[in-house]
Chain A
Amino acid sequence: MKETGPIAVHTISVIVDNEAGVLARVIGLFSGRGYNIESLTVSTVDTSHETSRITIVTSGTRMVIEQIKAQLDRLVPVHKVADLTIEGDFVSRDLALVKVAGVGEKRVEALRLAEAFRAQVVDASRDSFVFELTGAANKLDAFVDLMSELGLVEVARTGAVALSRGQSGL
């Protein structure tokens, strides 16, 4: 629908049957209908491996977001769809691995900043580090930004995983 309302970012949790093709179904839905995916993560989350949890960060007008949720909901292997952004407070975390190469001043500065950000050093050589950092997406963005001047080589990020705050779950 042609709608001109404001565009908002939403974090959506989807519980799906852990079966072949389910991720392709979800991604195909987004590409086929022209919805945005800012990030998407998926993993099984129960011990019997029967269900997976998909966390999707997407953006759109209010009606588009409603459509996205309705379209997800009607996929046969989807059990539950929750819009964390409107259902109350939630926590969202992203994990990044950040490789930085350099020597001397820059190397020291990179390490100092990593400590300030509580990043872990998970690999080190005489002229490089790989930092591991978890946090909200904007914290990771800020860290990567700083590293770009200190010898940033490459970054790998997971995309957001998120849960609602408080005692209840999906």
Chain B
Amino acid sequence: MASTKTIQDPAATGAPGDEAANAPMSGAQMILKALVDLGVDTIFGYPGGAVLPIYDEIFKQDKIQHILVRHEQAAVHAAEGYARTTGKPGVVLVTSGPGATNAVTGLTDAMLDSIPIICITGQVARHLIGNDAFQEADTVGITRPCTKHNYLVKDTALVPDVIYEAFYVATNGRPGPVVIDMPKDVQIEKAPYARSGHREHRTYRPQVDGDEAALRKAAYALANGARPIIYSGGGIINAGPEASELLTEFARMTGMPVTSTLMGLGAFPASDHQFLGMLGMHGTWEANHAMHDCDVMLAIGARFDDRVTGQIDGFSPGSTKIQVDIDLSSINKNVAVDIPVIADAASALRRLIAIWKEEKLGDKQPPLVAWWDQIERWRMKDCLAYADSDEMIMPQKALERLQHYIDGKEAIIATEVGQHQMWAAQFLKFDKPNHWLTSGGLGTMGYGLPATIGAQIAFPDRLCIDVSGDASFQMNLQELGTISQYQLPVKIFIMNNEYMGMVRQWQDLSYDGRRSHSYSDSLPDFEKLAEAYGIKGMSVEDPAKLDDAIQEMINHDGPVLLDCRVAKIENCFPMVPAGAAHNEMLLAGDVIAKPKDDEALAVV
């Protein structure tokens, strides 16, 4: 990630023998110094016994703001929101035991969506480790599979090096969460603040630039395609805004259609005619059909997730597949790839553009007119069409109207998980990267509200909206307290259908409508709930009042919760049903067949 390059490292260059620099510091002081020197301005955290020395140092300084969340899971999601919108790593501080275990969902979320996070966890004193001491948990053991890397710091003198290394690991190569477990006595013990001088890891050096021969082969394969497509993913966002610009440049110079994963939305402008919308399970008709029928595909920063491919045997059967990814293990994992390129997305795109120009590949390209004609025919299906109503607010309508009022405002949108998330991906238009926050890989209900907080902290003046669901909202609703405390002007737009709508949809489609425990019974009065936290609460049910309500929400100078009562039994389409291929998509109004077999039921 580009951000690491902007980090200054005064400690490494500090004059040797500098008395002040070498005066012994406590581990906690070292943590704060290293974080400040690394350019950290915000920590999302929650205190407890095992991090009191660090909290004491936070109290004594004013270079880093600490945002007190109401649950450690939310601290990590907030840090993810901060990271995803700024491009800088998000920093989290939690206590030992329950503090650390509460953070695990957030860490796993960051792991699956490749979000750079530094999570400092308190740990019991070194001599107590392994004794089942009070609030002891084997944090490095528990977080090993859900972090990119983790550390237990046993030597106070190594604190600065570990923190610098953790930042390097979290932000280089495929980004991810890193846990630093800090025993309490290490936080208290004093040692000279010394850096070994190299901030990188001793041996970890991810490959950034792709193999030239593979890139040339890829460029030629793309130039030969009569039906090419670019399938871009979250890796483009991780590679920094320049990667998005390069993607746009490459797509425009080659005239190829672009589709994006859920995580990649905004990397290529949604308003561009070459954009086909999102692909995959709830992707557009044109994107999925184009993926199925293409003859060459450039997958870049995308990992052929099962939500994207549908049934593997039927996935884009006739195409030459090029995959650019920074992580070798993403290649040939789900789908066999013809031309793999291990590289950072920006670096690879820069080279592809250069090769395209050097070799005048544009002149060699067959005309794409027939391909675009076919795509236009797919577009004419108008796959996102829905039956509007005067009686109730259709969820799609609610998002269309929201899009109307946020247009041009550079709003940052987060979502929870469920139907509203998919509708948001379909109906909201992202023209720039870093404006879309969603839990893609893990699908974590409760992600959106704290992620919005993180974004709002990073961009206090930006319009930040959590598109929420009635069920998901309740998974981290305690964060209303955080919003209230810091008077964050976030907008909470609950698409309240009184159901775990996505679960209900699956039950209706695949389980003969047995709606087992998917009704949102005993919902609170969301308006009053917001008011109880000192937040403006609103609700709307009448479609005629929808526009006014949305405008009032957006224009209110402060936090707002809008309980938007939408149609209860609306399904999200298009949909690639269980066990089907991309060209077997269902649209609203189609007769829905139950999954063909148990195997199909099991994979979705």
Contacts and interface: CB of A to CB of B under 8 A. Distances in A.
B372 to A, nearest CB: 33
Interface string A54-87: 0000000001001100110110110100000000
A19 B282 CA distance: 45
A112 interface: no
Contact of A63 (B145, B150, B332): B332
B152 interface: yes
Given A1-B312, A20-B152, A76-B148, A71 B329 contact: yes
B201 A32 contact: no
Interface string A1-16: 1100000000000000
Nearest to A63: B332
B141 A67 contact: no
Interface string B550-577: 0000000000000000000000000000
Interface residues of A, number: 19
Interface stretch (A21-29, A37-45, A101-109, A133-141): A21-29
Interface string A100-126: 000000000000000000000000000
Given A1-B332, A73-B329, A24 B141 contact: yes
Given A1-B312, A2-B312, A24-B141, A70 B148 contact: no
A132 interface: no
Nearest to B603: A2
B149 interface: yes
A76 B237 CA distance: 22
Contacts of A77: 149, 203-204
A107 to B, nearest CB: 46
Contacts of B204: 76-77
B323 to A, nearest CB: 13
Interface in B317-363: 327-329, 331-336
B328 A70 contact: yes
A63 B336 contact: yes
B509 interface: no
B202 interface: yes
Contacts of A28: 144-145
B140 interface: yes
A79 B204 CA distance: 7
B142 to A, nearest CB: 11
Contacts of B424: none
Nearest to A21: B140
B144 A24 contact: yes
A35 B371 CA distance: 42
B328 A73 contact: yes
Contact of B335 (A1, A32, A74, A76): A1
B144 A25 contact: yes
A24 to B, nearest CB: 6
A21 B144 contact: yes
B270 interface: no
B471 interface: no
Most buried by A among B150, B203, B327: B203
A71 B333 CA distance: 10
Nearest to B140: A21
A74 to B, nearest CB: 5
Interface in B131-149: 140-141, 144-145, 148-149
A32 B329 contact: no
A17 B203 contact: yes
Contact of A67 (B140, B203, B333): B333
Given A24-B141, A70-B329, A1 B169 contact: no
Nearest to A74: B329
B341 to A, nearest CB: 14
A161 B472 CA distance: 51
A79 B336 CA distance: 26
Contacts of B148: 76
A66 B312 contact: no
Most buried by A among B140, B150, B204: B204
Most buried by A among B141, B150, B333: B333
A70 B141 contact: no
Interface in B498-524: none
B174 interface: yes
Interface string B161-174: 00000000100011
Contacts of B152: 20-21
A24 B148 CA distance: 14
Contacts of A21: 140, 144, 150, 152
Most buried by B among A17, A24, A63, A70: A70
Contact of B169 (A2, A17, A70, A76): A76
Contacts of A32: 145
Nearest to B147: A76
B149 A67 contact: no
A73 B334 CA distance: 18
A103 B465 CA distance: 83
A70 B331 contact: yes
B329 A17 contact: no
Given A1-B333, A20-B152, A28-B144, A79 B328 contact: no
A6 B507 CA distance: 38
A23 to B, nearest CB: 11
Nearest to A75: B149
Contacts of A1: 312, 332-336
A67 B312 contact: no
Q: Which 5 A-B pairs rank lowest in CB-CB distance, beginning with the nearest?
A: A70-B329, A76-B149, A70-B328, A71-B329, A76-B204
Given A21-B140, A25-B144, 5 more contacts: A21-B144, A21-B152, A24-B141, A24-B144, A63-B332
Interface of A: 1-2, 17, 20-21, 24-25, 28, 32, 63, 66-67, 70-71, 73-74, 76-77, 79
